[in-house]
Amino acid sequence: MIEFPSTEHEVRQLERFLSATESLPATDRLEDMRARAQAHAERLSTAVSIGFAGEFGAGKSSLANMLAGADILPTGPQHLKLPLVIVAYADAPETTVGWWDKEPKTYSGIALEKAAADNPDFISVGLNTPALREISLFDLPGSGALDDSYKQTLDLLKFVDCAIWCTNGTNAWRETEHHLWAQVPETLRANSLLAVTHADLPPVRDALDRVLARLEKQKTGMFRAIVPIGTPVAVRAMAQEPEPDFALWETCGGQKLAEQMLEIASDRRKSDLEAARRDLKQDFLPFLETLKGAETETPDTRTVQPSLKSTLPPLSNPILEDWLAAIASIYEDLRDSSDIDPGTFLESCREIVEDFAERLDSGSEIDPEADWIPGEFEKATDLLLLLQFETGEARLKDAVSILAQLSDNLAWAGSKVAAAAPRTGT
């Protein structure tokens, strides 16, 4: 089974970088890094898009319906004329009508006819289908033999990460198709499949070996793989009760096509992930490290050298007592265990700091003059997150130092609270 790589940690790192640099003075280098970080975060947070394209009658909408697991897109020679239709994940079924130059509007449920009447530039159909969390399907309008629709197909292919070009098996891979596909960027062609449709029809089935042999010779530089598919048979196989006919699903080409589609989408996601990690390692994280160094050297940060003695709580400081109780188990684990997992330890530290950062936002538990302390907890959350991606035992000592500094800060704030209480008249 093909699984998509998780991007949660990288997206969180990118968002931390964007948050930490949001208020910094603009420079060309910083603006470039922020633009790249924003682009990475958006890509890794968005489903991989797979476009279905082909000449009229090639069966691309039927194929998209099959892979979506729902009979959404109209098919057949007399079907409703539609623009680009995007099938994506949504908590509840909905249809969104969109234009390139004005605000979209949404209908509840699947309402393609109503949407088409609005003459939109594109339509998005939302389905509560788990697979659509990872991939979205773009059903492009059919193209004709070198007419104006070819230009529209080329323009819309710019919006997809991967593609499946559907060629009618009765006259597979005509010169007009080759002419269009040769104009598609090489990066997209490398992430695309050629689906030979109508492979269930006797004339196609009888000549399939010969057709595939010819297409294999022309595949280099054009497609990643060629897959014959009998879409109606595949749909029938998956609709069998009480369970799908998996043997039929495999022999008709459904299994191979689904696997190949998920594989190219997963590889595209891995490529995006590697690009993000490369920028994080080479630029974003080192830049945040320079900020960390500047913070520890600047008097305005009001940080002091960590001292465990200063963590003894005065009775008038409830939030410090709660803080010390929360981190006590962490110190015990570090002291008693010789093989503590650094990642688990650092994540525990970060979660505690994040919880107290939210608690401090109210400002009611510390002296008003200590309004800088919530910011210190937010910075510490970022630093502890970054430490999870470093190596060596030194990062554990750094984490303890961060916790001790925060303890000192809360001790200072608590003592001020005690001194300020008489002035309230309570």
Which among 334, 337, 339 is positioned nearest to 404, based on CA atoms?
Answer: 334
Q: How far apart are CA 8 and CA 17, in angstroms?
A: 14
pLDDT for 328 equals 82
Query: For position 17, what pLDDT does the model report?
Result: 92
Query: Do 188 and 165 touch, CB atoms closer than 8 A?
Result: no
Look-up of token digits 């603006």:
31
Per-residue pLDDT, 336: 63
> CB neighbours (10 Å) of residue 84?
21
**DSSP notation for 228-262:** E--HHHHHHHHT-SSS--HHHHHHTTHHHHHHHHH
Contact 136, 163 (CB under 8 A): no
| Successive 10-residue mean pLDDT values, the chain, 426 residues | 81 91 92 97 95 91 87 71 91 94 93 92 92 92 72 90 96 92 94 96 95 94 96 92 92 94 94 96 92 57 39 56 81 68 84 87 74 85 83 80 84 50 33
Q: Phi first, then psi: what are they for 117, rounded to 5°?
A: -65, -20
CA dihedral 404→410→415→419, nearest 10 degrees, is: 160
Handedness of CA 103, 119, 114, 56 (dihedral sign): negative
C-alpha to C-alpha distance for 331 and 232, rounded to whole angstroms: 63
Please tell me the pTM assigned to this model: 0.68
Rounded-to-integer distance, Cα 156 and Cα 54, Å = 12
* Whole-angstrom distance, CA of residue 254 vs CA of residue 246: 9
Say if CB 198 and CB 204 are below 8 A apart.
yes
Rg (CA), the chain: 29
Sheet hosting strand 192-197, strand order edge to edge = 105-108, 94-98, 122-127, 84-89, 135-139, 48-54, 162-168, 192-197, 225-228
What was the pLDDT predicted at 413?
Answer: 66
Q: Which amino acid is at 218?
A: Q
pLDDT score of 261: 94
CATH number 3.40.50.300 is the correct assignment for the domain at 46-252: yes
Q: What are the sequence ranges of the domains in the chain?
A: 46-252, 303-424
pLDDT of the residue at 90: 93
